Chain A
């Protein structure tokens, strides 16, 4: 139970201090540390990353969603192809999905050229891959549940009954 609560808080904001998590869950700080350690060592929590609004920065990253179609054979399964693709550091996310195509792959690079080269030279030539469709991200409105707009002002009165 406490594991679920701590996990939910980390998912909300991984930078909550141990002390704050303890206050919010009525656990002791060492217990919170133990739960987090357990989540990490069991591989439930795989990492902590910042959610970035690239529009706010000068040196924007180029990101693309790439649809991949594959043809399997007797020796090769989805897992084999995925393993091969996932090793490239340019691949930020890779998911097998239902629908018109097989894999949904997120790629990130410093320039359109870099991403295009990666797809055409490293991904497309993989023998089982029959088709790639690359969609460059133009603007992002929401990432990881966080809206990237300017946010709403709190326009409540400072006192109300």
Chain B
């Protein structure tokens, strides 16, 4: 007898990464450029604060929305860094990773049958999240010739004017694309015109290597229709501590909090102490990590060009998105280079429409491993051309 699973769970296919994971397990000395998290440990001051909080027995629940001092620190931080103004009492909720916040948003704002447009390629959780909430995902493919930025013509081609909600993630996982204020303006106008709620996943905001990150919520008329997601996983290298947050209008955050209080209760307390310290004293650690990523970014882009693979100038996150040479699919390339050369990269199709024919290459790995991995990729490509 098979267990009686819910239809909306069964419709979601298993993650495309799974198969590669198994191949990598069989092989020794794999260098992984398939990783979506920093290679750095959490800055020591933040870890130390977490340890101290444990020693002091700070292990109970916190307020549903997170500790007040942390919400105040977040409010100050997003004002300083991104010009975002949110009230710590009413407009901020601290969650178990930004992922939880995104899930809360789908469940709080999407009615069954509503359409959610998703700029793709993108982080793999949005589509399943929409389906679990009973909504209908609508892929909005972006294109390499647009440097994987979301454009109004892409939105129109996909029929997003009929959608109820738009999800976008810039700096982007998996492409490394960023969107400047000028790039965001027409998208914001489209959202206003067609009355779309906007979910802006800005988890990689600090990892912007050219210019400053602009949040779409800062554009005119956008604050009241936008939820901004951010967190500590990427910039503060805290993935395993699971801590993120959402910013939005009071009624929207209250609705998200209603689900959060009945499911999560509160985000991990230890992680909240680490996060508070991260915001108060780890700015220079973050800058140092960002400098490191930027050097590696330039290194990896240079090497792909030397190898002769087309790669657009990724300016954010810690990914680049080179094109697979003619004659191979992304899947074939990723499997071949893993089996033959022991280098793990993720085929772009895993991240949805527009990702086919590309590879997500993470440079959240030390330079000596990057150097070796690129040498192996070069050998793989040379054998085929």
Residues of B within 8 A of A13 (CB): 367
Residue A25, interface by CB 8 Å: yes
Q: A23-B298, A154-B39, A158-B344 are in contact. List 7 more A-B contacts (CB 8 A).
A: A16-B367, A24-B299, A156-B32, A156-B39, A159-B17, A159-B34, A161-B125
Contact of B124 among A8, A154, A158, A161 (CB under 8 A): A161
In the complex, which residues of chain A have a beta carbon less than 8 angstroms from the beta carbon of B212? Answer: none
Question: A139: CB under 8 A from chain B?
Answer: no
CA–CA, A160 and B318, complex, Å: 13
A152: chain B residues at CB < 8 Å are 41
Q: Which residues of A contact B125 (CB under 8 A)?
A: 161
What is the interface size of chain B, counting residues whose CB is below 8 A from a CB of the partner?
Answer: 29
A157 at the interface (CB under 8 A from B): yes
A160 and B35 contact, CB distance less than 8 A: yes
- Chain A residues within an 8 Å CB radius of B302: 22-23, 26
| A25–B299 alpha-carbon span in the complex (Å) | 8
21 contacts between A and B (CB under 8 A): A8-B291, A13-B367, A16-B367, A23-B298, A23-B302, A23-B303, A24-B295, A24-B296, A152-B41, A156-B32, A156-B35, A157-B21, A158-B25, A158-B30, A158-B35, A159-B17, A159-B20, A159-B32, A160-B37, A161-B15, A161-B125
CB–CB A159/B299 < 8 A:
no
- Closest Cβ–Cβ distance, residue A11 to chain B (whole Å): 12
A1-36 CB contacts (< 8 Å) to partner B: 8-9, 13, 16, 20, 22-26
Q: Which of A22, A156, A158, A160 has the most CB of B within 10 A?
A: A158
Q: Tell me if B346 counts as interface (CB < 8 A to partner A).
A: yes
By beta carbon, the residue of chain B nearest A16 is B367
CB of B371 within 8 Å of the partner chain: yes
- A161–B298 CB distance below 8 A: no
Q: In the assembled complex, which residues on chain B have CB atoms less than 8 Å from the CB atom of A16?
A: 367
Nearest CB to that of A25 among chain B residues? Answer: B298
Query: Which residues 121-161 in A have Cβ within 8 Å of B in the complex?
Result: 152, 154, 156-161
B34 x A23 contact (CB < 8 A): no
Do A159 and B298 touch across chains, with their CB atoms under 8 A apart?
A: no
Give per-residue flags for B143-168: 1 if the beta carbon is below 8 A from chain A beta carbons, else 0.
Answer: 00000000000000000000000000
Known: A23-B303, A24-B295. A161 touches B39 (CB 8 A): no
- CB-based nearest B residue for A22: B302
B35/A26 in contact, CB under 8 A = no
Q: How far is the CA of A158 from the CA of B39 in the complex (A)?
A: 12
**Residue of A8, A23, A157 touching B35 (CB-CB under 8 A):** A157
User: Given A23, A156, A161, which contacts B299 in the complex, CB threshold below 8 Å?
Assistant: A23
Q: Are B371 and A161 in contact (CB under 8 A)?
A: no
| A25 contact set on B, CB distance < 8 A | 295, 298
- With a cutoff of 8 Å between Cβ atoms, the chain A residues found around residue B82 in the complex are none
- Assembly CA distance A20 to B371 (angstroms): 9
Question: Chain A residues near B367 (CB, 8 Å)?
Answer: 13, 16, 20
- Determine whether B36 belongs to the interface, using a CB cutoff of 8 Å to chain A: yes
With both beta carbons as reference points, the residue of chain B lying nearest to A27 in the complex is identified as B298
How far apart sit A158 and B303, CA to CA, in the bound complex (Å)? 22
**Chain B, Cβ-Cβ closest to A8:** B291
CB distance from B223 to the nearest CB of A (A): 29
- Does B123 sit at the interface, judged by CB under 8 A? yes
* Cα of A8 to Cα of B287 in the assembled complex, Å: 14
Expressed in whole angstroms, the Cα–Cα distance for A95 and B35 within the complex equals: 45
The digit string for B321-352, where 1 denotes a CB below 8 A from any CB of A, is 00000000000000000000000101000000
When distances are taken between beta carbons in the complex, the residues of chain B under 8 Å from A159 are 17, 20-21, 24, 32, 34-35, 344, 346
| C-alpha gap A156/B21 in the complex (Å) | 12
- Which residues does chain A contribute within 8 Å of B20, judged by CB atoms? 159
Residue ID in chain A nearest B125 by CB atoms = A161
- Docked pose: A76 CA to B21 CA in angstroms: 70
CB distance from A152 to the nearest CB of B (A): 7
The residue that B123 contacts in the complex, of A8, A26, A158, A161, with Cβ under 8 A, is A161
